[in-house]
Structures are given as structure tokens and as C-alpha cells.
Structure 1
């Protein structure tokens, strides 16, 4: 039976028409016109007619928007490369702190998001003000690398990351789904940027060897001009590609999340058993306490990445049990770390580093409690996955506020 006859035969079966379209979209499009001419009074075919022709009428508009968006990305990528190269020059001379390089990339990614989202004036002015205040304050800090200043350098990028998220969500910055999309964007961005960076390193190696063949060493010139410029511009390009639903990152990210979560769970369990066996204690060993906190942050990042790659409507599966176990282990680690930090504070006194570590551990502990309680309700079929995702997304501004507090207040207090 021809496709034309099948369209006419199933005129009262919308489900079958949808199946035919998905299996043979081009044949369906070509044959639909004949069925539509024979059955002009069919409401089902009328809907299909509008659907197919609407797509055709908007194709030109989409193409022009894509071109304009591409030009915007190109301009911002070039500006990011130039700005980063200038900042790198001054960091080499030690006139400014190296953390200033963040301002060669993040404001331009935020500008790209703002150009796409068309935020309200209030949101746009807030974004510009936050970046301006941050760079001015950063360069008012003394260049002496005291503990409080170093803490400011470490926390400022976290604050700027939250500001970029504000640009990403635009006028929907209060929406949990918009925040979740930003977290998902970060995972996909990291995957894509890593792939592009590996390609860039291969190109760099080939270029270096080609010039060495003619007895020219361009290593310093190439790094300070091409690599620095390219690394910054590539970040804007990667943000553009991810926002355009590039299938590479979007298809790989869920599989990475599902593979890494159980691997991290097994590795972490083995590590904790080994630590208990050999008798290492974060109460007496400062370096071990720092590594303990590093593990905690790593587990939190992996788990959040896995949660963001979970579909809104997916039923609970093995990944949820793995994530819940990871969160439970992270909660144990954080509780031990908190006890060790309180012990060190009471034994050796208050310092900027100890207070900063205490603060971030308290914040993470509260977030983990929220996430694990949401997971317990999910695994007991008392709620859906959105509850777990809310426990992640609604807490993001708190991390940003803490980062801003450490950046601004600690150099003044200590």
C-alpha cells in the first residue's frame, strides 16, 4: 500500500499518522498534499497541514536568527581572546592578580547569554554592576598573598560563576527549571570544552614540531598569543555550541553521569575503608583534612551532575539508588570533617582559613541533608524527581552569597 493511501486510510487515527511521520518524514511530507486535497474537511489533516507549513514558513526566520547569533558569538569570542591576552600581560608582570583572567572570559559568556535571553533592564543593569564591582574590588585588594586575600581569590570565581548563571536564566532566574538547565549546561560545556581543548593541544604539538624542523622555537610566542587567546575565545564558542543543542555533548553527558556515579561510589567506599584501616585522622592531620574536603566537593559535583542529567519524567531507577548512596557517604565525610574543623578551632584558635572551611562545610552539610531527604521521599514513591532537583537548584544562590561574603568580608576582617 502506498504512503498516500495509508495517510488517507488512517485519517481518523492521529497516533498512526504520527508514527508514519516519524518513520518516513520525507515520504510523509511529499504524500500529504494528495491526501489533503482529497479530504479538505478533515480536522486531523488540517492540523497536520498547519504543522508542516508552519515549519516551512519559519525556516527562513530561523536561519537569519542563527546567522545573527553566530556573528554575536564570533565578536564576543574575539573580544574575550583580546581581553584575556591583555590581562595575561599584566599578570605576567605581577601588576594584577592572576584571578583577573576570569574577567577575560566570564563577562563575555554572560554577555552572550544576555544577548540571547534579552533580559529586563533591571537584570541587565544588575549583571553589569556585579561584574564591575567585582573587578574593582578585586584590584583594590593588596597584592600581598595573606590567607584572607588568597581566600578571596579562590571564592571570587565561584561568585562569578553564579553571576553567569544569573545571565543564563535571565528574567527566569527564580525558576528551578532554568537553574537546572544552567547546571546541565555546565556539565555539557565541560565535556565539549575538554574535547575541543584536546584537539587544540594536538594542533599545538603539531605546530611546535613543524617549526622545530626549520630550527625555530616559537613556544613562548605561541603560548602567550595563540594559546591564551584561543583558550578564552574557545570558551565562548563552546557556550554557543552547547546552547545550540549540539548533540555531541548532550548525548554523551547522560552516559558519563551513569558510568561515573557507580565508579565514584565504589572507589569512595574502598577509600574510606582503607582510611579507617590505616588509622589516618583528619583531626590531627591538616593536609588529610584538606584532602577530605576535596573529596567531599568532588562527590558533590559528580552527584549534582548526575541529578541534572536525569529527566524530569523518568521513573526511579538504579542511578537514583547510587546517587542516594553517594549523598549518604558525602554526608558522613562532611560530618567527620565538620567535627575535625570544630576540634581544630577549639584547640588552635580562629583563623581565616579555618573559618572559611567551617562555613563551606556547614553549607554543604545543610544542602546534603536537603538532598538526601528528597531522595528518601523519591525512593519511597512519596514524591517525584523534581523534589531532588529543587534541593539542588534552590540552594545555588546560597553558595554564591557565601562566596561573595568571603571575597568581600574576609580581607576586611582578617
Structure 2
């Protein structure tokens, strides 16, 4: 089809959807106008990733189905068309060219990622003798190609491109200009927090600069979960490949350890970061169905685990150990819980009534909140006794950030399950809170090292 024919068919489909909505007397013309604006925005975003307009329309309607019952019914009635067009539709020349362009961009950016982790070796920064360099810069080396991938795929404007370059340059300065000691706490904090800060910079590229949009932030949250799934799957496949490589070369008397440790693992891992993003974009309509399944499997398991931890603390009366490794473990646990909540929110139908799973989510959030309170008490006790250190100060700030989010999330979930509040408020709270994480990560990276004399 020509571009004009695609546009005509898309307008016909939107007109059909609009007529379907207007046949329901409970929906006013103004409501349909507003829903149509949202629908067109989603179609535009999806076609920008390389999807055919027909595919983009049907996927957008499916996602709109999470917002209201009528769109959900429309999506159900047209599900056969969705399947046929995703699997059987013949692509026209322009769509096929766009897909090839997306594949080419992915290959180039993945190659740049692999090159980025090996290029420092030309300047004397090898993996064996320059571990500190990679501790500081690994987040920069692997995430810059990913940001470039989204910037090219989204045709990012000059202003957004300048902001991305500036933020990555700021991260590079923070990682390399500060006079860290090899065994300092500050270098460890930078190694942990800089990738977090830069990941949210990647979110700006993903949203094509429209980071103020709550919907675009939620899309990036959904992308993050799906990207992680694909990255894990690629990693598992890479593990099998590594094992086969070792066994095959050993059978002919060759030790492949150097090749694997210095080439296969670092280059493959850096490339996988971009490849996983491309897979999410290319298979967007398929992978999104994994979100409800994963959250429903892991939410009860983590809820039981957290309750068991609380019971064990109550029975043994043992205080939480606030040494660095234990703080990282507890914070990681709370972050995983928060990720489950975010992923569940991104997959949930906002118009659906509260059910058993929402009560389970509330129990998970409350249990995480109680553990966070215990961690905060333990940290404050150690600070009172021994004073502030970079690790304890960062842990205090992070747990306060998590406490605020978990406390208000628990309240909003309570209003949802009691049917006194709308789920949309909880979703908006989570998307509005994302910049807080970014701000705190940058504070730890930029302010903490000089504040604590790079200790």
C-alpha cells in the first residue's frame, strides 16, 4: 500500500471505532473526542517504532481497553483481526524498509556497545589491571549506545539530543574527575547510583523528550520490566553458549577462558543491552501479555517472604544488621517489591473493580513498608552511635525515598480496595514519583563524594 492508502485505512478504522463508541448512549460526544485523541497519540507512538498503521491501531485499541469497558469490548470483538494482522498481514515496501532500518540501527548500536567496553583496552585499561575504571564507567559504556538507539529510532530533536549528551557527559565527569580512592565508599556508591541515574536518562530518549507525560513514563516503566525479561533470557542463552564453547574447545585441547572472559562475556553483555530493547520494540504486542502473569506469580511469593521476615524478627527480637552488604540486600528486596508494584500497575485495567489480587498487593506494600521502617530505625541507631558515613547516609536517604513512596502507595491501595478511590490516582502517583529517584541518584553521584571528602 502507498502512504495515502495506509492513512485512508487507518482513518476508516478509527471511524469504525468511533461509531462503535457513539452507539453506546452512556458515552457523550465529548468523551469520545477525548478518547480518540488518546487513541491517535498511541497510534502515532507505535507507528514511530516501525509498526504498520493497522497493527498500531489494533494494539492501541487493546491498550485503551484498560482505560474503559467499551474499548475493551471493541478490542475483544476485533481480536481475530488483531491476530491476523500481526501474523499474516503483508507488509508494504515502506513498512518493510522501516523494519530493516530498525534492525540496522540495532545492529550498529549493539556493535558500538561491544566496541565501547573493549575500546579502553587500547589506552591501557584492561579488564584485569583496570578494574576500578570499569567500576566507575560500566554504566556509561553500556547505556550510552542504548540511549543512542532510542534517539535514532525516535528521530529525537536537537534539544533532547543536547540534553542527553549533556547528562551523559555529566555522568562521565562525575565518574572520572573525582579523586576516589580504590577502597573508598564513595566509588562504590557511584558505581551503584550512576547506572540508575543514566537509566532514567535513557527514559528521556525513550520518550523522545516527552518526559513530562505520565503516560510516557508508565510506558517506560513497562518497557523496563519487559527489557529485563528479555535481557535475562538472552543471558540464559548466553550461559548455554558459553558452556558449549568451553566444552567444544576443551575437547580439542584449547583453553577458551581468555576469549570468554575478555571478549565473549563483556562484548556479548554490552550488545545484549541494545538487542533486548530492540526485541521489546519489535515484539511489543506479544511480550505485554507476560506482565499480568509474572506479577500474579511473584506477588504472593514475595508477600509471603516479607511476612515471614517480619514474623522472624518479632519472634527472635533480632535487630536488622545495617552493615553494607545487609543494607544492599534489604534495599534490593524493597526495590524488587516496588518493581512488582509498578509492573502490576502498568498491566492492570484501571477500570476493573478491586479484587483479591489488589488485597494481596496491599499486603505486599504494607509488609515492605514495615521492613523499611525497621531498616530506618536500625540505620538511625548506627548513625547516632557512630556518626554519618557515605554508606549510611546514602542508605538513610534511599530508605526515606522508598518510605514516602510505599507509605502513600499503601494509602492509595487502601482507598482502592475499599472502593473509595480511583486506581488512576495510584498510577499517577507512581509515574509522578519517578523523577524523585532520578534526583536522588544524581545527588549521590554528584554531591556525596565531595561532601564526604571522597571517603
Sort the TM-score into its range (normalised by shorter chain): 0.7 to 0.9
Q: 2: distance between equivalents of 1:409 and 1:171?
A: 26
The reply to whether residue 224 of structure 1 matches residue 257 of structure 2 is no
Larger Cα-atom Rg: 1
The reply to whether residue 85 of structure 1 matches residue 118 of structure 2 is yes
Which one of the candidate residues 393, 418, 442 is aligned to 1:404? 442
Deviations 1:100-124 (A, max 9, x none): 1222221111111111222332211
Report if aligned partners of 1:87, 1:100 keep a CA contact under 8 Å in 2. no
Q: 2: distance between equivalents of 1:106 and 1:402?
A: 19
Report if aligned partners of 1:338, 1:358 keep a CA contact under 8 Å in 2. yes
Match of 1:193 in 2: 231
Report if aligned partners of 1:192, 1:249 keep a CA contact under 8 Å in 2. no
Which one of the candidate residues 377, 381, 392 is aligned to 1:339? 377
Deviations 1:302-361 (A, max 9, x none): 222222222344433322211111111111111222222222222221222221111111
The reply to whether residue 380 of structure 1 matches residue 413 of structure 2 is no
Match of 2:397 in 1: 359
Match of 2:92 in 1: 59
Greater mean alpha carbon deviation, residues 293-302 or residues 206-215: 293-302
The reply to whether residue 318 of structure 1 matches residue 356 of structure 2 is yes
Q: 2: distance between equivalents of 1:291 and 1:64?
A: 47
Greater mean alpha carbon deviation, residues 182-191 or residues 294-303: 294-303
Distance 1:376 1:196, change over 3 A: same
Instruction: Count residues in correspondence.
Output: 375
The reply to whether residue 117 of structure 1 matches residue 154 of structure 2 is yes
1:246 Cα deviation after fit:
4.4
Q: 1: distance between equivalents of 2:429 and 2:294?
A: 22
Which one of the candidate residues 184, 192, 200 is aligned to 1:154? 192
Q: 2: distance between equivalents of 1:354 and 1:226?
A: 37
Which one of the candidate residues 299, 303, 309 is aligned to 1:265? 303
Q: 2: distance between equivalents of 1:229 and 1:288?
A: 31
Q: 2: distance between equivalents of 1:120 and 1:138?
A: 27
Matches within 5 A, 1:258-337: 258-282=296-320, 291-337=329-375
Match of 2:178 in 1: 141
Distance 1:358 1:19, change over 3 A: closer
1:92 Cα deviation after fit:
3.0
Q: 1: distance between equivalents of 2:432 and 2:150?
A: 21
SS of the equivalent of 1:215 reads: coil
Deviations 1:202-228 (A, max 9, x none): 111112111111111111123311222
Which one of the candidate residues 269, 272, 275 is aligned to 1:234? 272
Q: 1: distance between equivalents of 2:284 and 2:390?
A: 43
Greater mean alpha carbon deviation, residues 150-159 or residues 91-100: 91-100
Q: 2: distance between equivalents of 1:252 and 1:19?
A: 18
Q: 1: distance between equivalents of 2:325 and 2:414?
A: 34
Distance 1:128 1:312, change over 3 A: farther
Deviations 1:75-117 (A, max 9, x none): 1111111111224754432272423122222111111111122
1:407 Cα deviation after fit:
0.8
Unaligned 5+ segments in structure 1 are 1-12, 30-54
Match of 1:3 in 2: none
The alignment yields a C-alpha RMSD, in angstroms, of 2.9
1:168 Cα deviation after fit:
1.0
Q: What is the TM-score when the length of structure 2 is the normalising length?
A: 0.75
Distance 1:316 1:146, change over 3 A: same
Q: 2: distance between equivalents of 1:322 and 1:403?
A: 30
